[in-house]
Structure 1
Amino acid sequence: MSSSGHGHTPAAWTGVIISFIGFCVAGVFIVMANVPGFWAGIVLIGAGAVVGGLMRAAGMGQAPKRAAQPAVKAQAQPQEG
């Protein structure tokens, strides 16, 4: 398990599972030469991305990382010269 927690959220799991099912559906129907079934699978893949994004927006995803604070620069010493 990664220490960053990347992808270990309900939003990520749900989006990936829906997309995986869509991938399987599209794969089966392309082998069967069924064009409407193939496109239904493609729609499921996109739906997985949308559902995952909506769940993340609803607070079920990982919080976005904050940008690193800029390093504090050392105070410049007056130059004698």
Structure 2
Amino acid sequence: MAEHGHGHSTAAWTAVTTLLVAAALIAVGIALDSLVFALIGCGLVAVGLIAGKVLQMAGFGVHHPSHTRGTTAVR
């Protein structure tokens, strides 16, 4: 998939980075028994998913070729 730029886009990096921060906050919230950290992390999950989708729709996602005929990808 690396030949096609799978996941190498602004939309993907934004979503993954936000979701990693959200997961860390949720983990800290569970470890410290802090509802505030856990809820902020849950909110960031929604923000990350929405931001990734909005950026993809705005044209910052991976652009796929219109047809796959003649590609050198291993199947």
Q: Same fold (TM over 0.5)?
A: yes
2:34 is aligned to: 34
Q: With structure 1 as the length reference, what TM-score do the two structures score?
A: 0.74
TM-score by length of 2: 0.79
CA distance in 1, matches of 2:55, 2:31: 33
Unaligned runs of 5+ in 2: 70-75
Alignment RMSD (CA, Å)? 2.0
The equivalent of 1:3 in structure 2 is 3
Figure out how many residues of one structure are paired with residues of the other and give that number. 69
1:25-81, CA deviations, whole angstroms, 9 ceiling, x for partnerless residues? 110011000112201101111211110100011100013564768xxxxxxxxxxxx
Moved over 6 A (4+): none
Unaligned residue ranges in structure 1 (runs of 5+): 70-81
| 2:47 equivalent to 1:54 | no
* Structure of greater relative contact order (alpha carbons < 8 Å, 6+ residues apart): 2
Partners in 1 of 2:34 and 2:67 — Cα distance? 47
